[in-house]
Homo-oligomer: A and B are copies of this chain.
Amino acid sequence: MRPSGRALDELRHVTIETGVTRHAEGSCLIRMGGTHVLCTASVEDKPPQFLRNTGMGWVTAEYGMLPRATHTRSKREAATGKQSGRTQEIQRLIGRALRAVVDRHALGERQIVIDCDVIQADGGTRCASITGGFVALRLAINKLREKGLITSDPILDHVAAVSCGIYAGQPVLDLDYDEDSVAGTDGNFVITGRGKLVEVQASAEGAPFTTADLTALMALADRGIEALVLVQRKALTE
């Protein structure tokens, strides 16, 4: 029934490959089916201006999509001279999601920038960016701890994200592009390793939805996050 033949509650095949770029303090390439996002974590010695002399650090994110990650080439944002509203909305979401599991006092006065660059897009790029971004962040913090620059672990829990939506009248897990482009309702769920909610965003693309619909989507999301956290753990222990 789904274009991909997946079960309603079935994630796409997910892999996370770590250490994919030489210079970044943490990096991974996450593949959720046809969606491939390169995530890097860069550690900067200083926090942003508004946190100087507070003892606290910051985690922020930037998001980009290569021009030909999509079916038809989209304009390069560096050439058009500004980031679209969509880009800014996504990178703000990624940053909030990751900060929700970071103890910024334990991180100390430094900043970690997570860059999420979509190499190939097939729906769900913001969710993949959060799931992969967590792994890059974890790796960069591991490096800070190995160097003795951080004593207590600032990471409080895992965090991952998945989209769910109403496709052809049924709640389904992990929408791909074919589903996403026609789904009536579409949501992104950012959930921790212990099953707590960090961010819930659900939108009616066409007809409004009910509380029961939202409950069904959240149940699917819970199952998806559990599986994604296992993939994160596996990538981090290899």
Known interface pairs A68-B40, A69-B23. Does A202 touch B208 (Cβ–Cβ under 8 Å)?
A: no
Question: Which residues of the partner chain B approach A207 to less than 8 Å between Cβ atoms?
Answer: 196
Question: What is the bound-complex CA distance between A35 and B88, given in angstroms?
Answer: 25
> Taking the complex as formed, is A200 at the interface, i.e. its CB lies under 8 A from any CB of chain B?
yes
The one of B115, B119, B197 in contact with A67, judged by C-beta atoms closer than 8 angstroms, is: B115
Q: Assuming the A-B contacts A23-B69, A92-B85, A120-B23, are A208 and B214 also in contact, with contact meaning beta carbons closer than 8 angstroms in the complex?
A: no
As for how many copies of this chain the complex holds, the number is: 6
Check A67 against B85 for contact (C-beta < 8 Å): no
CB-defined contacts of A73 to chain B, threshold 8 Å: 42, 44, 113, 115
- Contact with A23, one of B68, B76, B187 (Cβ below 8 angstroms): B68
Given contacts A92-B89, A117-B66, contact A214 B200 (CB under 8 A): yes
CB contacts (< 8 Å) of A67 on chain B: these are 40, 42, 62, 113, 115
- A92 contacts which chain B residues (CB < 8 A)? 85-86, 89
B-chain residues with CB within 8 Å of residue A209 when the two chains form the complex:
196-197
Chain A residues 67 to 95 lying within 8 A of chain B, measured CB to CB, are 67-73, 76-79, 81-83, 85-89, 91-92
Chain A to chain B contacts (Cβ below 8 Å), 6 pairs: A22-B34, A23-B68, A27-B68, A62-B76, A78-B87, A88-B88
